[in-house]
A and B are shown apart, each in its own frame.
Chain A
Amino acid sequence: MKHLLAFTALFALAPPAAAQDLGERVPEGAAVESILSDDDGEEGLSGGEVIDELALQNLDIVIAGFAADRDVPTAANANGTAALGKEIGRVVFGNLKNNGLFKPTGPDSVPQPSFAQITAPSWGTWTSRSTEMLVHGYVQARPDGRLTVGCYLYDVTLQDELVRGGWVVQPRDWRRAAHKCADLVYSRLTGESPFFDSRIAYIAETGPKDNRTKRLAIMDSDGANHRFITTGRSTALTPRYSPDYSKLLYLSYVDGNPRIYVYDIGTGRQTLITENRNPTFAPRWSPDGKWILYSMAVAGDTDIYRVSSQGGPSVRLTNTPGIDIGGSYSPDGSKIVFESDRSGVQQCYVMDADGSNQKRISFGGSRCATPEWSPRGDQIAFTNASNFHISVMSPSGGNVRTLTDGWQDEAPTWAPNGRIIQFFRTERGSGKTGLWQVDLTGRNERRLPTPVDASDPAWGPILP
C-alpha cells in the first residue's frame, strides 16, 4: 500500500525557471494584539445546531461610525482618525451585510456618536429608531504610531452591553481591526466561530476562453487588499493557503509542465514540492500544516502522495489503477476524504491518514468530485460532477444536500468556521468565472466581487 519513493522533496533548491513568473513580493502581515477582551462567556443568542436566520434577518442592528478621541493624522487614512473611524464602521457594516444573515444599517444612515457615547450610548436616540442591537466603536492613535480600536455590542432593549473587544494594530492593518469587530458581533449573535478576519487565495482570469491568462492572487475575505502573486506569463491553478498563512501551494506551468510549487510569502521564493519529472496536481495542507498531500501522474496513472511540509521522502497513499486525486483531511488529521475513478467514474472515498481502510462513501448515482472536509468535521462538501452543483454530505456519505444550481459550480472550500462554502461558477458559453459563497442552508448565496474573473478559491483559517 505505502511505497517510500526514491525521490525526495527538495524544498531548499528552486529551479531557476521557477522564479520567473513571480511578481513583487507581498508584505507579510503582523499579528494583531488583542486587548480589553472580556466576553461575558454566555453562549450566543441561538445555541442550537441551526441558526434562526429569520430572527437574525429581522433583527434591527445598527453599526455606527467609530468615534475618534481626537481627530489626528494617521497613516491609515488621509483625512485623519475621525474619517478612519467612519471607514471602520463601514467595513464592519459591509462584513455583516454581505454575510447574508443580517440586514444591518450602516454608519452613513445613522447619527455619528461622540467618543464619550461609545461607552455610554445615547439610548433615547436608538430606542426612538427601534434599534435592537447597536455596534459602537472607537479609534485612538497611539504615541507609538499604532492604532487602538475598540468595539462594543449593545442590546438597546435591555440597555446593556453584550460583548466588547479591542485590538492594537499597525495603521496598514486597520481593516483587520474592523474584521475582528465584525467577527465579535457575528459570533455573539449567532453562536458560531468567527471567520471575517481571514484571507482567500484564488486564480484571477483574463483573456479569451481558449487562451486564458491565469494568475495567482490573494485578498482579504471581503475582497480588500487584493494582490497578484504571479505575473500571468504561465498558467497558475488551484492555490491553497498554509494554515499559518506563511506559504501557498499552487500548480504552475512555469517550466511547461503542470507541477505543484510551494510559494513562501515571507521570502517571495518558490520551490517544487517534489523533485521529479512527473506532473503533480491537487495540493492540500493538513490542518496542522505539518503535511502536504499532492497527486502525481506516473505513466498516466494518478495517485495521492503525502510529504512532510519540511521536505523529505514522499509516501504513496493510493495504488489502484486510475485517477486517485485531491484529498482533504478531517479536522483531527486522522482521516482523508479523496476522489477516485476506480469504480469507472469519479466517486468520493475515505481512508485513514496512512492510506489504509479505503472505503467509498458516495453512492448517490452522481459523480462525486473535489471533496472537502468541513473544519467542524460534521460535513463534507463536494462537486456533484454530473450536474455541477455544490453539495454537502455527512462523513459517511449520508444526508446529501444540494446547495447551488449554477450551470457549472465547482471546487467548494470552507470558511474557517465551517458555516459558509466558497466555490467558483462558470457561465455557459462565455466561460466567464466568478467566486461565490453560499451558507449551509443554500438560501444565502452571493458573488464575491473580484477585480477580474476568478476561480479556484481557497480560504485560509482565521488570522492570529
Chain B
Amino acid sequence: MKNRLIIAALLTGTVALGACKPKAPDQLPPDPVETTAPDIDDGNFGQQQGAQLGSQQHFVDAVNGQNVIFFDTDRYNIDSADAAALQTQAMYLQRYPQLNITVEGHCDERGTREYNLALGERRANAAKNYLVSLGVSPDRIRTVSQGKERPVDTASNESAWARNRRAVSIVIS
C-alpha cells in the first residue's frame, strides 16, 4: 500500500524529469535483442512490440534506455538525472516483481586497476541503495564490479571516459 503511493509519486516525478538528458554525451546502443515471442503482457511499459517480458530488451525499452546511469570522475553519488533513471527502473521492478536485476559498476580506463574494482563496486552499490530506498527489495538486486575491464566506448578521450563511468542494470529472468 505504502509502496504504491510512493510509486505514484515517483511516476509524476519521472514525467517531470523526463526531459532531462542523461549526462553521457551519446545514447548507448541497445543490448542484444531477444525476440522469440510476442509480448503478452506489456502493461504500462508496453510501447514496444516484440521484446519479451524477462528479456533485457523489454526492460531497456520500458525504461527508455535509462537502465544505465553515469558518474563523474572518482564519484559515486546519485545526481538528479541518475535519480530519475533509477525511479523509472524501480517502477519497472515494482510492476514485475518476478524479475531480479544485476547492477554492474564500471569505471573509465584512467584509474588504477584495483581502485577501479573497488570504485565500480561502490557505484553499483550506490545504484542498488537508491533502488532499495524506493522500495525494491535488496534480495532482488545483485551487484558486481567490472572495474575498468569492460568499457562500452573504447576511445581514449573525455567523452568515452564519461560513457564508461556507469552503472548498468541488467534483468535476470
Contact = CB atoms under 8 A, between A and B. Distances in A.
B1 interface: no
B151 A297 contact: no
Interface residues of A, number: 43
B125 A282 contact: no
Q: Which of B122, B143, B152 has the most CB of A within 10 A?
A: B122
B121 A238 contact: no
Interface in A235-283: 235, 237-238, 251, 256-258, 279, 281-282
Nearest to B121: A297
Given A258-B145, A323-B118, A429 B125 contact: no
B162 to A, nearest CB: 16
B169 to A, nearest CB: 16
A456 B147 CA distance: 14
Contacts of A238: 113-114
A456 B154 CA distance: 20
A428 B118 contact: no
A369 B148 CA distance: 16
Contacts of A410: 112-113
B112 A302 contact: no
Contact of B114 (A214, A326, A345): A326
Interface stretch (A70-78, A130-138, A189-197, A204-212): A204-212
A61 to B, nearest CB: 39
B144 A258 contact: yes
Interface string A272-312: 00000001011000000000000101011110000000000
Interface of B: 74, 76, 109-115, 117-119, 121-122, 124-126, 129, 143-145, 147, 149-152, 154-156
A208 B121 CA distance: 24
Nearest to A283: B114
For the complex of A and B, the 4 pairs showing the least CB-CB separation, nearest first, are A300-B125, A302-B118, A209-B154, A297-B121
Contact of A370 (B112, B119, B124, B156): B112
A185 B119 CA distance: 46
A259 to B, nearest CB: 11
Interface in A386-414: 388, 408, 410-411
B149 A212 contact: yes
29 contacts: A209-B154, A210-B151, A210-B152, A212-B149, A237-B113, A237-B117, A257-B144, A258-B147, A282-B117, A297-B121, A300-B76, A300-B125, A301-B122, A302-B122, A323-B118, A323-B119, A325-B115, A325-B118, A346-B112, A370-B112, A370-B114, A408-B109, A408-B110, A410-B112, A410-B113, A428-B156, A429-B155, A429-B156, A431-B109
A251 B149 CA distance: 13
B122 A300 contact: yes
A341 B114 contact: no
A140 interface: no
B151 A295 contact: no
A258 B117 contact: yes
A385 interface: yes
Contact of A369 (B76, B112, B125, B147): B112
A220 interface: no
Given A235-B149, A297-B145, A345-B74, A431 B154 contact: yes
B160 to A, nearest CB: 10
Contacts of A302: 118, 121-122
Nearest to A323: B118
B139 to A, nearest CB: 12
A362 interface: no
A323 B112 contact: no
Nearest to B74: A345
A297 B118 contact: yes
B110 A388 contact: yes
A339 interface: yes
Nearest to A455: B113
B111 A210 contact: no
A276 to B, nearest CB: 14
